[in-house]
Structure 1
Amino acid sequence: MPLAFRLLFAALLACLSFSALGEKIRIVTEPWAPYVMVENGKASGLDYDTTAIVFQRLGIDVQWQFLPWKRCLMMLQQGEADGALDIFKVSERDDLLLYPSEPMSDVNWVLFQANARPHPFNSLDDLKGLTVGVSPGYLYSPEFDSSTTFIREPAPSHEANFGKLIRGRIDLLVTDRRLGQQMLDQLKLRDQVSQLPTVLSTREQFLAVRRNAGMDLLVQRFGAELKRFKREPAYAQLVAHYTGETLQTPQQSPTVSSAISVEKTVEQHERSAL
């Protein structure tokens, strides 16, 4: 067998046939609703379900781990994970990660305030002298992350950040709009906490894999299949289920069979999620 053919065959095996080789791609992520959630040992969420469906279509088995975000990043850097779900594309990670052409979803970073201690926000200048609750390892915007005019105070969880806000230990907190709105309902804080209207920044989040791990072609196929799935009614159904938002697709309304297909696919991946 010619050398070039053998090399091509080996690359195809590495990129396309994890299941055939009896291996699973190792994906790490941090639970944060509505994108990734783990309740009573069962994983779900808009981006989790979408990723599970796309990998199922590609014939790839996934080993999931749900960890604090800083631990996820450390596992990527140390080669203990093959990829991460819901990670931002930043130049500092170009040497480490490969990204598909299609993002999983968009994150809108917004600020939340305690109604008893309002702090109007229109620009970063309005944060001068304040303490803003953040999450360890998260990137918000270059200007926000590097500013020295206010204090960024991390908390071990999103729940802890909201707790610090209502107790006056921080002046504001920054988080994703969808997550923050769900936290207000989950923690029953709608009469105490409100979202400020100005969006700090909007960023795309991806399913990214480590470079030099033989997955170059896989990441291309993942991006193409993800883009195809996001044009289907089944994806709009997931968006509506997890966010309450209506997404228009170029296809017809979902049929009963498509809904059953999505449910069965997600259920298969949930069995091996933990």
Structure 2
Amino acid sequence: MTPPTLNHKARSVLSGAVLLCLSICSSYAGPIRVVTEELPPYNMTRDGQLTGMSTEVVQAVLKQVNVQASIQSMPWARAYDLALHDPDVLIYSITRTPEREHLFKWVGTIASSRWYIYSAASHPVSLLDLNDARDWQTATVNEDVGEQYLIGKQFVIGKQLQSSNRYELNYQKLQTGHVDLWISDELNADYLAREAGDEPERTLVQSLRVRELEEAGGFNMAFSAGTADATVQLFQDGLNAIRENGTYDAIARKWN
């Protein structure tokens, strides 16, 4: 006996169910690990809770895509190493440079940034270009984009660069004369000055703007290279969704 054939309506229902299943499966995100650093006001721990503009954006994306994941704050060099070598690691706030382009799978920009080489107002240093900075000691953070940028320009740790694991230490070193210069994002520098009880316009001098770092497009979310493309696409869609529904703008207004 010839088996009965499906009518047009039944075929349509079955086809829709298959497409729905494929859509759900293709957008599935397995367990992921989210890592960041203490980079106020973008990501920072306050009263035992991780907060900041970038953190709130990441949390909004996680909610949008219905993925449960805790966020761990740690020294940047450790977070960066985990994202370089382990699968299913989401890292933020990370600058997208040409050197890093092939190392990660990029989700998108979550905050703008402006970078400067600072000197202390009590000991201002005039810089016409980056080469002028070679005669001075500059504070950096281990493996962050400012340090990587200067190393790429042939600055040497231990000779022209003093590397540390905490941004606030660099502000302190600049103000106490242990270094002459400090490379930092502007909002981070201003925040740390105010946290120290200072007014940034009175204690910091923007000796040189580092436009090459700004051309990278700000701070980003990115996945480790070993993460499935479907997971990356899911988070890209989530970031686009919170931009379109107004959530991103509401977070940005809160922190700017």
Q: Sort the TM-score into its range (normalised by shorter chain).
A: 0.7 to 0.9
**Residue 147 to residue 213, structure 1, CA distance change in 2 (3 Å):** closer
How large is the RMSD of aligned CA atoms in angstroms?
A: 2.8
Give the Å deviation of 1:136: 0.6
- The residue type equivalent to 1:61 in the other structure is Q
How far the C-alpha of 1:155 sits from its partner, in A, is 2.1
> What CA deviation, in whole Å up to 9, does each residue of 1:124-151 have, x standing for no partner?
0221310111111112387633334671
Distance (Å, rounded) in 2 between the aligned partners of 1:237 and 1:228? 13
Q: What letter corresponds to residue 103 of structure 1 in structure 2?
A: T
The CA deviation at 1:17 is 4.7
Q: Cα 1:235–1:80, aligned 2, differ >3 Å: closer, same or farther?
A: closer
Tell me if structure 2 keeps the 8 A contact 1:124–1:144: no
The aligned counterpart of 2:124 is 118
Task: Name the SS for the 1:76 alignment partner.
Answer: helix
Q: How does 1:63-82 map to 2 (within 5 A)?
A: 63-79=70-86, 82=89
Q: Confirm or deny: 8 A CA contact 1:35 1:48 kept in the other structure.
A: yes
Native 8 Å contact 1:31 1:38 kept in 2: yes
Residue 119 of structure 1 aligns to a residue whose secondary structure is coil
* Aligned-partner SS, 1:83: strand
Separation in structure 2 between the aligned mates of residue 200 and residue 207 of structure 1, nearest angstrom? 22
Structure 2 residue identity aligned to 1:124: L
Q: Name the CA shift for 1:190/1:87 in 2 (closer, same or farther; >3 Å).
A: same
Residue 87 of structure 1 corresponds to: 94
Q: Which residue of 1 aligns with 2:113?
A: 107
1:139 is matched with which residue: 138, 142, 145? 145
After TM superposition, list the pairs within 5 Å mapping 1:251-262 onto structure 2: none
Question: In 2 relative to 1, CA 90–130 (structure 1 residues): closer, same or farther, beyond 3 Å?
Answer: same
Judging changes above 3 Å, is the alpha-carbon distance between structure 1 residues 182 and 143 closer, same or farther for their aligned structure 2 residues? Answer: closer
Structure 1: which 5+ runs fail to align?
1-5, 19-23, 244-274
Correspondence for 1:196? 206
3-state SS, counterpart of residue 175 of structure 1 = strand
Q: Secondary structure of 2:62's partner?
A: helix
Residues 141, 165 of structure 1: CA spacing in aligned structure 2 closer, same or farther, 3 A cutoff?
closer
Letter in 2 for 1:169: H
Is 1:168 aligned to 2:182, yes or no? no
**Change in 2 beyond 3 A, CA 1:218/1:148:** closer
Q: What's the offset of the Cα at 1:69?
A: 0.5
Segment of structure 1 superposing worse, 161-170 or 195-204: 195-204
Candidates 231, 234, 249, aligned match of 1:218 = 231
Contact kept? 1:29, 1:84, Cα under 8 Å: yes
Q: Who is 2:250 aligned against?
A: 237
Is the 8 Å Cα contact of residues 113 and 185 (structure 2) preserved in structure 1? yes
**Structure 2 residue 38 is matched with structure 1 residue 16:** no
Residue of structure 1 in register with 2:223 after alignment: 209
- Identity of counterpart residues, as a percentage? 17
Does the CA-based 8 Å contact 2:140-2:146 persist in structure 1?
A: no
Shift of 1:67: 0.4
Structure 2: gaps spanning 5 or more residues = 1-17
Tell me which of 228, 235, 257 is aligned to 2:241: 228
The size of the alignment, in residue pairs, is 230
TM-score under structure 1 normalisation? 0.74
Inter-partner Cα distance in structure 2 for 1:230 and 1:11: 22
Task: Give the letter for the 2:165 counterpart.
Answer: P
Q: Deviations over 1:49-69 (max 9, x none)?
A: 111111111111112111001
Taking a change above 3 Å as real, the CA distance of residues 166 and 94 of structure 1, as seen in their structure-2 partners, is closer
Larger Rg: 2
